[in-house]
A = this chain, B = another copy of it.
Amino acid sequence: MTGGVPRRRGRPARTEAETGPGARERILEAAREEFAERGYDKTSVRGIAKAAGVDPALVHHYFGTKDEVFAAAIEVSFEPALVVPAILGEGKDGVGERLARYFVGVWENPVSRAPLLAILRSALTHEAAAKVLRGFVLRRMLERIAADLDVPDPKFRAELAASHMIGIAILRYVVQVEPLATVDPEEIIEMVAPTLQRYLTEA
């Protein structure tokens, strides 16, 4: 699986390549690709480990269950822990535009778009994936956004903003309805920014 080295059953022997500093990143990269290509349902920890060239036990060691690898793979695409506080931290003025630009940037980049579409597809067709999206991803991300908002029902507001960006991504990239499918991203940002601004800042 990872070369010609014979394996014994039981606790896996780990080579330096398998456990070295790049292993975690390789696993995440492999997870993104596996989820994007196969969807949530058909992706396994074993398959991710194989693609990353590591033992499945190492995937469990770093991330835990398949659901947790899934959540981590999504977080890599969005980087909400880094990006969201930065966007909101600059203050109310222009926060709608900054957030619209961030989302559109994530979607426009094919590398981050593929796993995100896979997640959305999976969430719409498998309750287990919907649960991950609901629990790990949206809750963490939306709570981060909501925590910095000075509006009534901040979580509801953050969800309204997210719903709009998700709906645009579906019509633009999946259903591919024209002209939305081919319009310049700047036109989307220009129209959507005031909507997000209102949801996130106006009482």
Chain A residues packing against B (C-beta within 8 Å): 120-121, 123-125, 130, 133-134, 138-139, 142, 153, 155-157, 159-160, 162-168, 170-172, 174-180, 183, 187-188, 191-192, 194-195, 198-199
Q: In the complex the two chains form, is B121's CB within 8 Å of A192's CB?
A: no
Given A159-B177, A159-B179, A198-B194, A170-B124 contact (CB < 8 Å): yes
Q: Do the beta carbons of A156 and B195 come within 8 Å of each other?
A: no
List B contacts of A123 (CB < 8 A).
174-175
A74 vs chain B, min Cβ distance (A): 13
Q: A163–B142 contact, CB under 8 A?
A: no
A134/B167 contact (C-beta < 8 A), A124-B124, A159-B180, A180-B160 known: no
For the complex of A and B, the 6 pairs showing the least CB-CB separation, nearest first, are A167-B167, A163-B167, A166-B167, A159-B180, A163-B168, A164-B164
A37 to chain B, nearest CB (A): 14
A113 to nearest B CB, angstroms?
14
